Amino acid sequence: AACPPGKPAPKQVSKTYSLAADALFDFDRSGPGDMNQKGRDSLDKLAAELKDIDKLESVTIYGYTDRLGSVPYNQRLSQNRANTVKMYLAERGIPASKMKAIGRGKADQIEPCPGLSGQALRDCLHPNRRVVLEVKGFTLENIPAKSSNDPQPIPVEGVSPD
C-alpha cells in the first residue's frame, strides 16, 4: 500500500559502527567504572543518533579482544565489554529489549602482528580490541541505508563506521 500524500515512506537503516576498545575502556578492562571519558562521549553521541531512528529494530553489540590471553579469559572480557556498552546505551534511553550483547573473544582478528613481542605487539594488536554495533531499523527521514558505495554513515566523533 502506498503512503498517504505528504507522508514520507519509511527508509531502512542498516549501519555498522566500530569503536576501538581502547577508546572505550582502559587496557584489559571492561566494567562501567573502567570506561574513559572519550568512550562515554562517543557512546553519548551514538545514543543520540540511535534515538533519531523512528523505529529501531535491533542493535547487536559485539565485543572483541586481541589474541593475547586464554580463550576463556578473552571470551569473558569481550562479553563484559559488550554488556557494559549495552547497559550504558540503555541508561541513555535505548531500549534494552532491542539490544543484544555478544562476546566474540579473539574471533575475526584484523591484525595478526607476527614476529612482534612486548609493547610493540600490544600496540600492533590495537585494532583487534574493539566493540562493533550493528544497527537496524526504519526512519521517516531520508537517510539512506548503508551500501557498499557509502564511504561512511553519519559521522560520530570517536566512533568509526565499518
pLDDT surpassing 90 at residue 117: yes
pLDDT digits (tens, 9 = 90+) for 45-87: 999 999 999 999 999 999 999 999 999 999 999 999 999 999 9
Residue 113 CB neighbour total at 10 angstroms: 19
Q: What would the grid cell of residue 151 be?
A: 564511504
pLDDT digits (tens, 9 = 90+) for 130-150: 999 999 999 885 544 444 443
Whether the model clears a pTM of 0.85, i.e. scores above it, the answer is no
The radius of gyration of the chain's CA atoms, rounded to the nearest angstrom, is 17
How far apart, in whole angstroms, are the C-alpha atoms of residue 14 and residue 123?
Answer: 31
